[in-house]
Amino acid sequence: MSRKALQHALSTSQIFSKADPAMLAGLVQYAQPVRLSAQQHLFIAGDEALHFYWIETGGITLYSPSLTGEEKTFRLLGAGALVAETMMYAQPCCYPLSAYANTDSQLYRMPREPLLAFTRQSAEFAFSLVEILASRITQAIHRIDLLTINNSLQRLVSYLLDMHAQQGTAWLQLPASSQVIARQLNITPETFSRHLSQLKRQGLVGRGRNKELVLLDIAGLCHEAGLPPPSPKDLRRPMTHLGGSMFECCNLL
């Protein structure tokens, strides 16, 4: 990818959408390609955070090991996503989560210091960054509220409705395996599988190919989970009571 193409890609991201083109071009001059094989780590929690990244191809999992040794998945990032950009402003500047490639991946690495200099030079960019962080904090609060609901079926159905709003169709392309999604929802893989099987038997959802899932009866799904049915307006956008997509919040990293 040329530096001009990378600059354009960054300018379409939320955090750099209001950045001055000349300053963004200066930042891109420091970019270096990074190739990762599947399961190869990008960084480990506690490492000094000297760089942030943009994903060209492939995907990255952000996770933290639990006290039991199991992996707690916080977020799945795909092509076009930034990784650890907001952590560049932290003091001390260390990655709070670990990250590895889901599959063979191509990224671009950019250093922290030019980004900080860029921010000091542009009050407009700094203010837009504060707005973005405030929005993500709101999303994080709502996600914490959702994940503390004891009813695991409600968490699953809320997730499926959020995916419907994100993708604009009842035919959902799940972003990861059932095991990974279950961990995101704080549900055991066995319970996740049991809920999906139950919903399928009731004719509320259907399975397509690979990671495809179709919502056959949204009102029925909500009734089964004890949730109020979403309005047509809510089905056309991420659920507003979650402050946006409930998995966007973890980009606080």
Q: Please, is 83 exposed, middle or buried when counting C-beta atoms within 10 Å of its C-beta (0-12, 13-18, 19+)?
A: buried
Per-residue tokens: 60: 């990255």
Q: Assign 179 a pLDDT band (cuts: 50, 70, 90).
A: confident
pLDDT in tens, 38-94: 999 999 999 999 999 999 999 999 998 777 777 788 888 999 999 999 899 998 899
Range(s) within the chain of domains with CATH label 1.10.10.10: 144-252
Q: Which CATH class is domain 144-252?
A: mainly alpha
Of 85, 60, 54, residue with least CA distance to 75: 60
Query: Distances from the Cα of 190 to the Cαs of 115, 193, 194, in angstroms?
Result: 44, 5, 6
Residue 74: φ, ψ to 5°: -100, -40
The DSSP symbol for 48 reads B
CATH number for domain 3-121, candidates 2.60.120.10, 3.40.630.30, 3.30.1330.50, 1.10.10.10? 2.60.120.10
Indicate the pTM of the whole model. Answer: 0.74
Query: 76-85, 143-152, 226-235, 240-249: which range is least confident on average?
Result: 240-249
pLDDT in tens, 190-228: 999 999 999 999 999 998 777 889 999 999 999 999 988
